[in-house]
Structure 1
Amino acid sequence: MRKTLLLFLIICSKLVSAQLIDDFSDGDFTSSPKWSGTVNYFRVSNGYLQSNGPQASSTLYLSTSNTLAAAAVWEFYLKLSFDPSTTNYPRIYLVSNKEDLSSTSDMQAYYLQLGSPSNAENFFLVKQNGTTSTTLLNLPDKPRSNANAVTVRVRVERDLNGHWDIYTDFTGGRNFTFDGSVIDNTFISTSYFGVYCRYSTGNRFNQFYFTDFKIESYVAAPPQLLEVKSLDDQTFEVTFDKAVNASALQSSNYGLSGLGSPQKAEAGINPAKIKLSYADAVPSGNYTLTVSHIADLRNNVMPVPQVKSFLHIKKYIAKKGDVIINEIMANPKGVKGLPETEYIELWNKSDEYIIVSGWKYSKDAATKPVVLTADTLAPKQYLILCANANAPLLKPFGKAMGLASWPALTNTKANLKIYDMHDNLIDEVSYTDTWYQDAKKKSGGFSLELINPYGNCTGGANWIASIAEYGGTPGSKNSVYNDEKDTQGPQIILTTIINPRVIQIDFDKKLAAHTAINISNYVMNNGVGTPVSIELVEPLYKTVMLTFEKDLTKGIEYTLTCSNLTNCSGAEMQQGRNASKFFYAKDILPNSILISEVLFNPKVRGAEFVEIYNNTEHILDLKDLKIGNADRKNDKIISNVSLFIQPKTYWVLSANIEHLKETYSVKYPDQMVKMPNMPAYNNDKGMVALYVDDKIIDSFSYHEKMHHALLKNYKGVSLERVSFNRHTNESTNWQSAAVIAGYATPTSENSQQENGILKNEVVLVSKTFSPDQDGFEDTLQINYRFKQNGNLATINIYTDKGLLVRNLIRNNSMPTQGSLEWDGLDNNGKLCKVGVYVIKFETFTAEGEVERFTKTCVLAAKLN
Structure 2
Amino acid sequence: MKQTLPQSFAQKINTFIAAFASKNFRCGAISSRNFLRHTYLESIKPAYKSGLAGVFILLLLPFLAAAQLQETFSDGNFTHNPTWSGDVNSFIINPQNQLQSSGPAVTGTVLQLTTSSQAAVGTTWEFWANLRLATSASNYTDVYLISDKEDLKAPDVNGYFVRIGNTADEVSLYRKDAGKAATIIINGQDKTVATSNNVVRVRVTRSINFEWELSIDVTGTGQSYMSQGTATDATHRRSLYFGVLLRYTSANSQRFYFDDFRITDAQPPVLDELQTVNPQELILRFNEPLQPEQAQRATNYTLNGSINPILAELTGDATVRLVFGRSFSTGANELSIYNLQDLYGNGLAAPILSSFSFVPPAVLPGYNELLITEIMADETPTVGLPAQEYIELYNPTGKVLRLQGIRYSDATSTSILPDVQLLPQEYAVVVPNSQVQQFSQFGKVIGISNFPSLNNSGELLQLRQPNGMLIYAVNYADTWYKHNTKREGGWSLEMIDVTNPCAGIENWTASADPRGGTPAQANAVAASNPDNTPPILVDAIATSPDRVILRFNERLDSTQAASIAHYNISPSIDVAGVQVQGPLFHEVMLLLASPLQERQPYTLTAQSITDCAGNRSQPLTATFALPSAPAPGDVVINEILFNPRPGGVDFVELVNRSDKYIDLRNWQLANLSNDSISNFRSITAAPYVLAPGQYVVLTSNPENIKANYPASRQETFLRMTSLPSYPDDAGTVFVLQPDGQVADRFSYTSDMHFALLDDKNGVSLERVRLEGPSIANNFHSAATTVFATPGYKNSQSQEGVQAQRVFEISPRVFSPDGDGYEDFTTINYATEQTGLVVNITVFDAQGREIRKLARNELLAANGFFRWDGLREDGAKANIGYYIFYIELFGLNGQKSVHKEKVVVGGRF
Q: Does the alignment reach a TM-score above 0.5? A: no
- Rg larger in structure: 1
Question: What TM-score, normalized by structure 1, do the two folds share?
Answer: 0.40
Question: What TM-score, normalized by structure 2, do the two folds share?
Answer: 0.39
